[in-house]
Structure 1
Amino acid sequence: MSLLHSRSLTLRLTLWFALLSALALSLLGWYVMHSQEHHFEEQDRVMLSGKMKQVRHILEKALTTPDGETFTSRLDDALIGYNNLVIAVIGHDWRWVRAQAGLEPPPKLLEHFTANDSGYLGKWTADNGLVWRGISETSVSNSDTGSPYTVVIATEISDHEHFMRSFRKSLWVFIALTSIATGLLGWLVVCWGLMPLQSIKRKAEDITANRLHTRLPAETMPLELADLTSTLNEMLSRLEESFQRLSDFSSDLAHELRTPVSNLLTQTQVTLSKTRTVDDYRNILASNEEEFERLSRMISDMLFLAKADNQQLIPKREQLELADEVAELLEFYDALAEEKEIQLSAEGDGAILGDRLMLRRAISNLLSNALCYTPAGESVTVRIGKQEDGSVQLTVENTGPCIPAKHLPRLFNRFYRADSAHHRNTEGSGLGLAITCSILSAHGGDVTVSSADGITRFTLLLPSGVDSPSPHPKP
């Protein structure tokens, strides 16, 4: 059985194919042999039963007319035309056994049958090795004495047995050879059937981190492998996208860290180039403090996103009135909005179960982003409303130049900025929208963006969770 559990799929399928073929052929061989033996038995039964009727008729006449020569001659005539036939008749006080010329009656013939019931069809092997099949019948004569008598008729069937032995041997040899042949053919068929897997293997060997764009030929695969190939291609697409994001993230991270580190290094080198006053050192340290704060915020944001990627961002659930939270945030940004001559407003309400600090950070990121890109004299509006499915939708909407459609799918990527679309520069690190997306995902919600007709909308969709809060973040 260890071969059947081999790690080789080809060997395993070949062995199963050979075993099933051998089993099917064995069952067929058993059926053929059984049918053949049954055929010989029925053939002998018909012949012996017919001869029994003939002998019984002769005896009935002979017992009414006791003429021994006529009786004997008639029984001898009954043997004519039948090879290997023996007739035995047992009376009350007499016994007659006659075999065909050249054939010796089997020993203990009468004892074998007289011990059994009338009509018994038996088969046995004599001491000399010959195989016999016979039938017996006990009757009562119609004479005045009414004495019983038993008739035994047997035929020697060694030829049948020899034929069956030869047939059985030939059949098993044929089954063995055929099983081996079908096993070899099965091996060829399995190898041919698994050739598409070899094609997938060769194609997969060419796929590297620099060649993730390569795809497996799903259109040329058999139906059974088409789904597998499509799944592998989808996996490669996801890997390619992930590798691309990782590559972009690494490049952006290096760029973002290079600027403050370079500023700190340059400023330190210039400071150390000559002796300076205490006030100069104090000003330089104050400037360095701003760069360190920027680095600290960036590192903190990256750690936050790392926790979100590993599903460790588990929000604390408490009932929140979004209208109250938004009102406090608008009050915080009111001074900045007044300085930029931007009008802030909010409308609607809705209750959810969520983490107050996380959701405030998500909404704050959207408000900060909107204030950054809204021109003077325009407005920023926050709209809250309940949906038909029970979820709550919060939209941060600002007027001004639209974001080109090509930037929209990547706005939530880390370090991605669409500044060129707004013709502005920003002091942010490009992680705010990525953090917002992670917070919404942790709450089982979603965030989308649209920009058209002079209006840009960031929409947060949150499950209310008031009746059935979800304790786990969205994967």
Structure 2
Amino acid sequence: MMSNRKLRLRPMSITWRVLMFVALTVTICLSLMASLLNSSINHHFLQQDAGELEVMTHAIEHQLQGNFISNDELAVELEKAVSGHHGVYYQVHTIDGANIYSNSQYDFSTSAASAQMADKFEIDNIQLWELGGKTFRGLVTGVEVSGVAYKVTTAIDIGFHLTFLEEFKYSLWTIMTGSCLLTLLAAWLAIYQGLRPLRGLSHDVEDIQTNKMNVRLDTGKVPKELIDLVQSFNQMLDRLEEGFSRLAHFSTDIAHELRTPLTNIITQTQVNLSRPRESDKYQEMLFSNLEELEQLSKMVNDMLGIAKASNGLIKPNKQLLNTANEIQALFDFFDAFADEADITLQTTGSTLEIYCDQLHLRQSLSNLLSNAIRHAPKGSTVTIDCHESVEKTANISVINPGQPIPEASLPYVFDRFYRVDKSRKKHSKGTGLGLGLAIAKAMIEANGGRLSVTSDQHKTQFTINIPLAVKD
């Protein structure tokens, strides 16, 4: 069975879509015009023929009003009734069917028998008759003179009109076809020229490579309809360039981070294997190597945790938590570390109830607090402030005094293995080698929250924004 991908048809090209739309529109418009012209000409011929028939009918009725001794004398006068008209025919019968006069070899009596006889000329009573291979427009009227009723049949040969209409239709359809083809050609040329900027963009995009991510498309060289597209593409390139740059730095950083413990393990092992030693020396080496391996294992586990959280693979076990209880548990754990660093821990603000994973929250706060204690000057105070934001969410801020984070480094402090300066690299214990803030951010975002940082000459503040618990 073919897959859905194989069965899926390629979308129709823009050129064909526009050409089909133009062709349909032009065909409809030209057809309507042709129909209107044909209808107008037919109506004109009908009016013209109706005028001829009316003149003939009135002339014959006028002759019938005269005083004639016999039908033969009447026939002589009727012969003079209509003169100077080409292709016109008329017949006069008595009401009982006796023929008084006919100026045509065509017998219209059969056609006239089925026609409605009117007392006076009416255009709605004009009919089409087929007789002897010719087409006529005919009219049957009734005239009563001195108590005698007559049936007057008048007809006009419209063969010339029909021939003209056929030739006109042929010419019209020829012109319509030529106009449609010419319009489609003009539309194709317009589309081809209209898509020229896109072909230029495609050519420029081909020059963009992973080692040439600084290339940007020029918005001044495209029509205004494509400016938004070019700007969006350039913004995408900015994000990709930033991502590639971070990935390159990440690869370099992780290589440096892994090289030190691996070098230590290899060096210690080589030294101890260079000559026979006491068993306690080998045991000491193994303990040292184990410490380095545990550090490497923790780093790998932390990186896997960040990757899972970033890709939505971690499903938080959310529960109702009290911020005061969580902060107090955190202080109890860090009291000894803070005393050793001569740092005072305090909490301010209000007690809130939040809805998130307890393990994720404690891990995030632990990473932020250990980071704050390490970078706060001795004798200072590290504060955890908790309050409700204007967006009706909980803001939990970890604040420490000390040297500010450079403004240029603020966007990157949550990157894996990022170090603001070399002095911070000395602190490699606790939450991992440059992964603590990245882990904290990943855990908070996995619970639907945000982690941000601000820093100035007075303090550095990391703020967790997390949803409040919904009250019934």
* TM value normalised by structure 2: 0.91
CA 1:265–1:82 in structure 2 vs 1: closer, same or farther (change >3 Å)?
same
Q: Any conservation in 1 of the 2:308–2:314 contact (CA below 8 Å)?
A: yes
Q: Any conservation in 2 of the 1:86–1:97 contact (CA below 8 Å)?
A: no
Moved more, 4-13 or 352-361: 4-13
Distance 1:242 1:38 in 2: 75
Q: Any conservation in 2 of the 1:382–1:395 contact (CA below 8 Å)?
A: yes
Partner of 2:333, secondary structure, is helix
Q: Any conservation in 1 of the 2:60–2:82 contact (CA below 8 Å)?
A: no
Aligned to 1:110: 109
CA 1:58–1:11 in structure 2 vs 1: closer, same or farther (change >3 Å)?
same
Distance 2:40 2:11 in 1: 39
Distance 1:357 1:93 in 2: 115
Aligned to 1:23: 28
State the Cα distance separating 1:435 from its structure 2 match.
0.9
Distance 2:264 2:227 in 1: 55
- 1:120-139 equivalences under 5 Å are 120-127=125-132, 129-139=133-143
Q: Any conservation in 1 of the 2:127–2:137 contact (CA below 8 Å)?
A: yes
**How far does the alpha carbon of each residue in 1:98-126 deviate from its partner, in whole angstroms, 9 at most, with x for none?**
32xxxx432x3121012221143112232
Distance 1:174 1:341 in 2: 97
**How far does the alpha carbon of each residue in 1:165-193 deviate from its partner, in whole angstroms, 9 at most, with x for none?**
11111111111122122121111111111
Q: Any conservation in 1 of the 2:59–2:82 contact (CA below 8 Å)?
A: no
Distance 1:254 1:423 in 2: 18
* TM value normalised by structure 1: 0.90
State the one-letter code of the partner of 2:105: P
State the one-letter code of the partner of 1:255: H
State the Cα distance separating 1:423 from its structure 2 match.
6.5
Partner of 2:448, secondary structure, is coil
Aligned to 1:385: 387
Q: Any conservation in 1 of the 2:53–2:139 contact (CA below 8 Å)?
A: yes
Aligned to 1:405: 407
State the one-letter code of the partner of 1:464: L
Aligned to 1:452: 456
State the Cα distance separating 1:367 from its structure 2 match.
0.7
Distance 1:327 1:451 in 2: 25
State the Cα distance separating 1:198 from its structure 2 match.
0.5
Partner of 1:354, secondary structure, is strand
- 1:266-285 equivalences under 5 Å are 266-285=267-286
Aligned to 2:160: 159
Partner of 1:346, secondary structure, is strand
Partner of 1:25, secondary structure, is helix
Distance 1:45 1:381 in 2: 105
Distance 2:462 2:303 in 1: 22
Aligned to 1:472: none
Distance 1:391 1:404 in 2: 29
Cα RMSD for the two superposed structures: 2.0
CA 1:388–1:189 in structure 2 vs 1: closer, same or farther (change >3 Å)?
closer
Q: Any conservation in 2 of the 1:343–1:378 contact (CA below 8 Å)?
A: yes
Aligned to 2:307: 306
Partner of 1:61, secondary structure, is coil
State the one-letter code of the partner of 2:376: T
State the one-letter code of the partner of 2:101: V
Partner of 1:78, secondary structure, is coil
Distance 2:201 2:297 in 1: 48
Aligned to 2:354: 352
State the one-letter code of the partner of 2:292: E
Task: Name structure 2 gaps, 5 residues minimum.
Answer: 1-8, 119-124
Distance 2:46 2:10 in 1: 45
**How far does the alpha carbon of each residue in 1:22-61 deviate from its partner, in whole angstroms, 9 at most, with x for none?**
3321221121111101110111112212321221122133
Question: Is 2:465 the partner of 1:461?
Answer: yes
State the Cα distance separating 1:78 from its structure 2 match.
2.1
Match of 1:76 among 75, 79, 91: 79
State the one-letter code of the partner of 2:401: T
Q: Any conservation in 1 of the 2:64–2:145 contact (CA below 8 Å)?
A: no
- 1:67-466 equivalences under 5 Å are 67-68=70-71, 71-91=74-94, 92=96, 94-99=98-103, 104-106=104-106, 108-119=107-118, 120-127=125-132, 129-139=133-143, 141-143=144-146, 146-348=147-349, 349-420=351-422, 425-427=426-428, 428-466=432-470
Partner of 2:66, secondary structure, is helix
State the one-letter code of the partner of 1:293: E
Q: Any conservation in 2 of the 1:319–1:351 contact (CA below 8 Å)?
A: yes
**How far does the alpha carbon of each residue in 1:325-356 deviate from its partner, in whole angstroms, 9 at most, with x for none?**
11111111111111111111112321101111
Distance 2:392 2:17 in 1: 55
**Fraction of identical pairs, as percent:** 36
Distance 2:365 2:466 in 1: 12
Partner of 2:65, secondary structure, is helix
Q: Any conservation in 1 of the 2:419–2:425 contact (CA below 8 Å)?
A: no
State the one-letter code of the partner of 1:353: Y
Q: Any conservation in 2 of the 1:319–1:466 contact (CA below 8 Å)?
A: no
State the one-letter code of the partner of 1:246: L
Q: Any conservation in 2 of the 1:403–1:451 contact (CA below 8 Å)?
A: yes
Q: Any conservation in 2 of the 1:138–1:149 contact (CA below 8 Å)?
A: yes
State the Cα distance separating 1:424 from its structure 2 match.
6.6
**How far does the alpha carbon of each residue in 1:6-31 deviate from its partner, in whole angstroms, 9 at most, with x for none?**
74332342243233323321221121
Distance 1:401 1:34 in 2: 91
Return structure 1 stretches of 4+ with deviation > 4 angstroms.
67-70
State the one-letter code of the partner of 1:52: T
CA 1:172–1:301 in structure 2 vs 1: closer, same or farther (change >3 Å)?
same
State the Cα distance separating 1:69 from its structure 2 match.
5.7
Distance 1:19 1:383 in 2: 69
CA 1:126–1:305 in structure 2 vs 1: closer, same or farther (change >3 Å)?
same
State the Cα distance separating 1:454 from its structure 2 match.
2.5
Aligned to 2:56: 51
Task: Name structure 1 gaps, 5 residues minimum.
Answer: 469-475
CA 1:138–1:212 in structure 2 vs 1: closer, same or farther (change >3 Å)?
same
**How far does the alpha carbon of each residue in 1:301-322 deviate from its partner, in whole angstroms, 9 at most, with x for none?**
0000110121112211111111
Distance 1:412 1:47 in 2: 98
